[in-house]
């Protein structure tokens, strides 16, 4: 497969004005201003092949959204080279703009006081989508998202979940080859998050779109993305399979145990580190390479009613990556 997205030594710095509070601060600013340089993205490089669904993750202020805006042509980089679909994004050529979409969970592109269908028709005109293609794509997306009943309702009267579904449809009507999703499930309840995840997965498979997904919900990344790119303070910390992070940073596994009768802490501590002890439920941390062996020891020597071996939460593993990367 060919590389659809290529980033080489991308750097983006901002110059931010710092104003002292109060009237006196405003008067001083008339004669002398203080600025601070913010390093939003610093010398990152990676490439993405056609059809990949990549998790692009990091804490607030890591540089995720800035990177997506550069890839979309909304921001000029300070330095570095970027290619998306063979185009220089900030040239903003019409042929490029018709082949990608940027969906930001905290930004609206739908007309607030009009039904979503009106915005869809507007996008049809903007992207010059032929009638047959428009109706075919719209019908497919509406069916995938199960949203036929709300197309003629004013956007401001829709629930957050319904609105986000319509936002996705508006972004996908022109069948983009590249899709940038910036926190698409933010603020949604767990049921709607799953609906959105299922749709993103299905869309990636059915249309072969290349997708970069940012999310603070690690379940999104875990369910959708085989490969992840982790950045923090503008620097790339990791680029590879999610499984590789787990193998490298998850030194322990979790044994969740239910006992028939109470057992002393001293005996349990010989098996592993006690994470929680609330009889009859006990949680132990054990070295991942010895998890099976220690679970067998528990079953043979303790009154065990039930036992499961679990991986640590992905959030904890990613947090450990950040700590090692600083």
Tell me how far apart the alpha carbons of residues 29 and 309 are, in angstroms, rounded to a whole number. 61
Structure tokens at 249: 């940073």
Domain residue limits, the chain: 3-246, 251-310
Structure tokens at 75: 């921001």
Structure tokens at 148: 């036929």
Between these two residues, 176 and 323, which has the higher pLDDT value?
A: 176
Q: What single DSSP character describes residue 154?
A: B
Radius of gyration of the chain (CA): 25
Res 263: pLDDT: 87
For the stretch 18-39, pLDDT in tens is 777 877 777 777 777 777 888 8
Q: What is the CATH number of domain 3-246?
A: 3.40.50.300
Q: How confident is the model at residue 229 (pLDDT cuts 50, 70, 90)?
A: very high
Tell me how far apart the alpha carbons of residues 84 and 90 are, in angstroms, rounded to a whole number. 10
Closest CA to 58 of 176, 235, 308: 235
Structure tokens at 53: 């669904």
3-state helix vs strand vs coil in the chain, percent to 5 = 40, 30, 25
Domain 251-310, CATH class in plain words: alpha beta
Sign of the CA dihedral with 41 first, then 42, 43, and 44 last: negative
Sequence-separated (6 or more) residues with CB below 8 Å from residue 156: 112, 113
Between these two residues, 317 and 215, which has the higher pLDDT value?
A: 215
Q: What average pLDDT does range 254-279 have in this prediction? A: 89
Element (H, E) at 27: helix 22-31
CA angle 294, 299, 304 (to 5 degrees): 120
Write phi, then psi, for 210 (nearest 5 degrees): -90, 125
Res 325: pLDDT: 58
Res 321: pLDDT: 72
Tell me how far apart the alpha carbons of residues 192 and 166 are, in angstroms, rounded to a whole number. 13
User: For residue 115, what are the β-bridge partners?
Assistant: 154
Whole-number percent of the chain with pLDDT over 90: 44
Res 5: pLDDT: 95
> 7-11, 190-194, 244-248, 264-268 — which is least confidently predicted?
244-248
Q: What average pLDDT does range 141-154 have in this prediction? A: 89
Closest CA to 223 of 4, 53, 59, 48: 53
Res 27: pLDDT: 77
Average pLDDT of the residues of the chain: 88
Which residues of the chain form beta strands (DSSP E)? 3-18, 34-49, 53-57, 79-84, 100-104, 178-182, 210-214, 227-232, 235-241, 252-259, 273-278, 281-287, 304-310
The answer, yes or no, to whether residue 1 has pLDDT greater than 60, is no
For the stretch 193-210, pLDDT in tens is 888 899 899 889 988 999
> 34-48, 86-100, 216-230, 306-320 — which is least confidently predicted?
306-320
Sequence-separated (6 or more) residues with CB below 8 Å from residue 49: 1, 2, 3, 4, 210
Res 78: pLDDT: 93
Q: What average pLDDT does range 85-100 have in this prediction? A: 92
For the stretch 279-289, pLDDT in tens is 889 999 998 88
């Amino acid at each position: 497969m060919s590389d659809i997205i290529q980033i080489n030594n991308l750097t983006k710095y901002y110059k931010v004005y710092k104003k002292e509070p109060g009237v006196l601060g405003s008067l001083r600013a008339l004669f002398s201003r203080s600025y601070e340089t913010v390093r939003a993205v610093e010398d990152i490089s990676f490439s993405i092949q056609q059809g990949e669904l990549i998790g692009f993750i990091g804490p607030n202020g890591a540089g995720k959204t800035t990177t997506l805006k550069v890839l979309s042509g909304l921001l000029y980089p300070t330095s570095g080279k970027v290619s998306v679909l063979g185009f220089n994004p900030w040239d903003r050529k019409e042929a490029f703009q018709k082949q990608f979409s940027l969906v930001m969970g905290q930004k609206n592109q739908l007309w607030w006081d009009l039904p979503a269908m009106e915005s869809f028709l507007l996008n049809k005109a903007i992207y010059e989508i032929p009638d047959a293609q428009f109706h075919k794509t719209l019908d497919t997306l509406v069916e995938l998202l199960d949203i036929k009943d709300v197309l003629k309702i004013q956007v401001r009267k829709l629930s957050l979940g319904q609105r986000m579904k319509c936002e996705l449809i508006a972004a996908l009507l022109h069948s983009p080859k590249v899709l940038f999703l910036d926190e698409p499930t933010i603020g949604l309840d767990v049921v709607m998050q799953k609906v959105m995840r299922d749709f993103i997965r299905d869309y990636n498979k059915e249309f072969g779109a290349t997708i970069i997904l940012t999310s603070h919900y690690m379940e999104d990344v875990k369910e959708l993305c085989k490969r992840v790119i982790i950045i923090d303070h503008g620097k790339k910390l990791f680029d590879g399979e999610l499984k590789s992070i787990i193998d490298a940073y998850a030194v322990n596994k979790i044994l969740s145990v239910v006992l028939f009768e109470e057992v002393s802490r001293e005996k349990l501590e010989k098996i592993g580190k006690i994470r929680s002890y609330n009889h009859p439920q006990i949680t132990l941390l054990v070295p991942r390479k010895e998890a099976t062996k220690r679970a067998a020891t528990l079953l043979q020597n303790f009154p065990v009613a039930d036992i499961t071996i679990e991986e640590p939460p992905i959030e904890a593993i990613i947090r450990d990556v950040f700590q090692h990367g600083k």
